[in-house]
């Protein structure tokens, strides 16, 4: 276990060390040598200012908030419609969602690209938002599993009080789904934050860089400046690390539910 932990930690710690070195130190000393000054945060400043990380953080936040909120709405509404109503073609609708889980997103990018382009969404934030909303079927399943455990008698009671279906969804189902919403928000949030190929493929404009693509672009201008690249890397990992520390328990159960469905 200790060996395994070391294998995980050493590559990360080395990057942390390098991010604190000066330009000269990084090129002359070995990677395992500690930095001369442990509080040299200059590289972080460079990464922030020249690496467009602020813009990237804003873009990622916009995309993340809209697509996470949208996923919650879409997922819970789909689950509500499928679980609480009887209607024609219900089997077909469920089948469509089920089969879609089998199709990996990467395989259809060639054609998806043309559709996004036709919609005029290429090179706008909407491309990423639409794709995150449209291709997330796992969260529908999380909601569907959860909504089954909410007693139908609650709906019935509200109905007798004169509530229509939307009021029931809004006032009863949505608040009862809170644990499922938390799970979906965590999974979706981390997935969107980390996603690389959708922003890379659909938003090549440097102004639209997300955390992933902005960091990827460090490769060019900072070429061999590992101290700056390391600082950028640490900055990108840091939010994930903080979220992990605070929400550990939910994260384990969330990803376990998400990856096994």
In contact, 43 and 228? CB cutoff 8 Å: yes
Residue 28 or 175: the one with the smaller Cβ distance to other proteins is 28
Measured torsion, CA atoms of residues 76, 79, 81, 84, in degrees rounded to the nearest 10 = -110
Residue 41 or 196: the one with the smaller Cβ distance to other proteins is 196
Q: Which of 140, 180, 185, 203 binds other proteins (CB under 8 A)?
A: 140
Q: Which of 58, 65, 69, 96 binds other proteins (CB under 8 A)?
A: 96
- Please report, as residue ranges, which positions from 198 to 217 form the binding site for other proteins (by CB under 8 A): 201, 211-213, 215-216
| CA 191 remoteness from chain centre | 3
Structure tokens at 60: 């990622």
Determine if 88 is a binding residue for other proteins (CB under 8 A). Answer: yes
In contact, 142 and 184? CB cutoff 8 Å: yes
Name the segment binding other proteins (CB under 8 A); options: 34-42, 43-51, 94-102, 175-183: 94-102
Closest CA to 255 of 176, 185, 196: 185
Structure tokens at 208: 């639209």
Determine if 74 is a binding residue for other proteins (CB under 8 A). Answer: yes
Binding mask 151-190 for other proteins (x = CB under 8 A): -x--xx--x-----x---x--------------------x
In contact, 65 and 246? CB cutoff 8 Å: no
- Please report, as residue ranges, which positions from 44 to 73 form the binding site for other proteins (by CB under 8 A): none
């Amino acid at each position: 276990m200790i060996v395994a932990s070391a294998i995980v930690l050493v590559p990360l710690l080395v990057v942390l060390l390098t991010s604190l070195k000066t330009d000269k130190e990084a090129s002359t000393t070995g990677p395992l040598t500690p930095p001369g000054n442990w509080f040299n945060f200059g590289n972080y400043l460079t990464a922030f200012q020249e690496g467009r990380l602020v813009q990237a953080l804003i873009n990622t936040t916009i995309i993340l908030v809209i697509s996470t909120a949208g996923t919650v709405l879409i997922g819970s509404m789909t689950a509500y419609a499928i679980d609480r109503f009887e209607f024609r073609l219900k089997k077909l609708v469920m089948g469509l969602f089920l089969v879609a889980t089998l199709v990996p997103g990467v395989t259809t990018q060639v054609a998806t690209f043309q559709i996004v382009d036709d919609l005029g969404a290429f090179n706008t934030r909407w491309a990423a938002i639409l794709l995150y909303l449209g291709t997330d079927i796992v969260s529908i399943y999380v909601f569907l599993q959860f909504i089954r455990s909410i007693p139908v008698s609650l709906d019935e009671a509200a109905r007798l009080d004169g509530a229509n279906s939307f009021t029931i969804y809004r006032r009863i189902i949505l608040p009862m789904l809170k644990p499922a919403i938390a799970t979906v928000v965590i999974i979706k949030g981390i997935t969107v934050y980390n996603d690389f190929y959708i922003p890379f493929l659909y938003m090549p404009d440097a102004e639209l860089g997300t955390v992933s693509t902005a960091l990827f672009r460090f490769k060019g201008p900072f070429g061999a400046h590992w101290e700056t690249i390391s600082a950028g890397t640490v900055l990108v990992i840091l939010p994930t690390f903080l979220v992990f520390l605070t929400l550990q328990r939910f994260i384990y159960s969330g990803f376990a539910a998400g990856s096994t469905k």
